[in-house]
């Protein structure tokens, strides 16, 4: 992998990740951009104890542009985008409309490919491996920022999820605090250790492997399963068999196998609802240990992949119980979801 760091016209950082070592990235952003002005503010909720990012400047962000005006495509034919070069493998840049900025953290956009019309599931294993390298490198770089406590790499896919740009891309958030979801896992982890003397994540994976009914697929270095208490209609957790706290500590064998396993999962997601159905909307989320949390070595890196589509033409909405009380009601039994995801294995 070759990494090239440059800047856009308004001073935001842009990083190219290339598979070939001889690629030269010297294109200049000629756009007359004003300096980025943000109003991101973190406010703590005294009742729930969590934090909310207030970011009013995001109201003006780009919203469903036509394909020929996509800001994530390469700059070609006299049209200049967020990527100055005429082609790229993987590109990462600071978000122009960040939810978190400055002392409040950092937000980045990850462009998986220059091809506007492909999805992550359509990437080659070589391309997917380069994205994994980019996620890992960004995690390592953001770990060095004093204002970043935790890094979250994720992809929102599909208009139903709220995606406003059709180009295949994801995001990386560098939070200035430990997120509520992670805090809950850390507390559960500590309680389990105190009660049993064992690691919670290890026990969860071992239980799913022993039961087998919710296992979707297994590799030599990765295992994917629908969790026993899945919140979403179709939800898969992907764990490396060797527990590590974050992407930086995956070994070479796990890194080499990941593209095949992950691409297979994504392709199965697109087959869940049968032929003729539109692509399945999903959220793909890496859970990594906070950098400075006590006991971070006990945390288990894993990826959670889920869709809000519960059946053909119907979505799972977060209504009263979910949004008002955070108590999920799942219409699809996890065992049935796992069975369906096994049935739609790629040929």
Residues in a beta bridge with 285: 154, 304
Of 55, 53, 266, 275, give the one whose Cα is nearest residue 158: 266
CA distance 345 to 342: 6
Question: Which residues are catalytically annotated?
Answer: 169
By CB atoms closer than 10 A (0-12, 13-18, 19+), residue 261 is buried
Q: What is the 3 state secondary structure string of the chain? A: CEEEEEECCCCCEEEEEECCCCCCCCCCCCCCCCCCCCCCEEEECCCCCCEEEECHHHHHCCCCCCHHHCCCCECECCECCCECCCCCCEEEEECCCCCCCHHHCEEEEEECCCCCCCCHHHCCHHHHHHHHHHHHHHHHHHCCCCCCCEEEEEEEECHHHCCCCCCCEEEEEEECCCCHHHHHHHHHHHHHHHHHCCCHHHHHHHHHHHHCCCEEEECCCEEEECCCCCCCCEEEEEEECCCCCCHHHCCHHHHHHHHHHHHHHHHHHCCCCCCCCCCCCEEEEEECCCCCCCCHHHCCCEEEEEECEEECCEECCCCHHHHHHCCCCCCCCHHHHHHHHHHCCCC
């Amino acid at each position: 992998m070759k990494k090239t760091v440059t800047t856009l016209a308004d001073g935001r950082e842009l990083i190219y990740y290339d598979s070939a070592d001889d690629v030269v990235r010297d294109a200049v952003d000629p756009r007359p951009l004003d300096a980025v002005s943000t109003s991101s503010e973190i406010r703590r909720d005294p009742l729930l104890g969590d934090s909310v990012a207030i970011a009013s400047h995001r109201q003006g962000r780009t919203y469903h542009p036509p394909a020929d005006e996509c800001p994530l495509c390469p700059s070609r034919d006299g049209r200049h985008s967020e990527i100055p070069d005429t082609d790229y493998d993987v590109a990462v840049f600071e978000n122009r409309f960040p939810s978190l900025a400055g002392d409040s953290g950092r937000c980045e956009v990850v462009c998986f490919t220059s091809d506007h019309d492909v999805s992550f599931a359509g990437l080659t294993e070589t391309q997917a491996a380069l994205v994994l390298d980019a996620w890992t490198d960004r995690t390592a770089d953001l770990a060095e920022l004093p204002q970043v406590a935790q890094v979250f790499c994720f992809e929102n896919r599909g208009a139903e999820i709220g995606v406003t740009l059709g180009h295949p891309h994801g995001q990386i958030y560098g939070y200035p605090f430990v997120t509520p979801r992670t805090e809950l896992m850390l507390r559960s982890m500590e309680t389990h250790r105190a009660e049993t003397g064992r690691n919670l994540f290890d026990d969860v994976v071992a239980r799913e492997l022993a039961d087998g009914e919710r296992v979707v697929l297994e590799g030599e270095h990765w295992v994917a399963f629908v969790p026993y208490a899945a919140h979403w209609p179709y939800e898969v957790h992907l764990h490396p068999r060797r527990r590590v706290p974050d992407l930086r500590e995956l070994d070479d064998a796990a890194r080499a196998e990941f593209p095949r396993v992950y691409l297979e999962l994504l392709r199965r997601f697109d087959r869940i609802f049968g032929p003729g159905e539109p692509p399945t909307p999903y959220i793909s989320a890496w859970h990594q240990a906070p950098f400075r949390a006590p006991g971070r070595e006990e945390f288990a890196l894993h990826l959670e992949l889920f869709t809000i589509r519960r059946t053909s033409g119907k979505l799972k909405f977060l209504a009263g119980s979910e949004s008002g009380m955070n108590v999920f009601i799942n219409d699809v039994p996890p065992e049935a979801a796992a069975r369906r995801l096994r049935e739609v294995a790629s040929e």
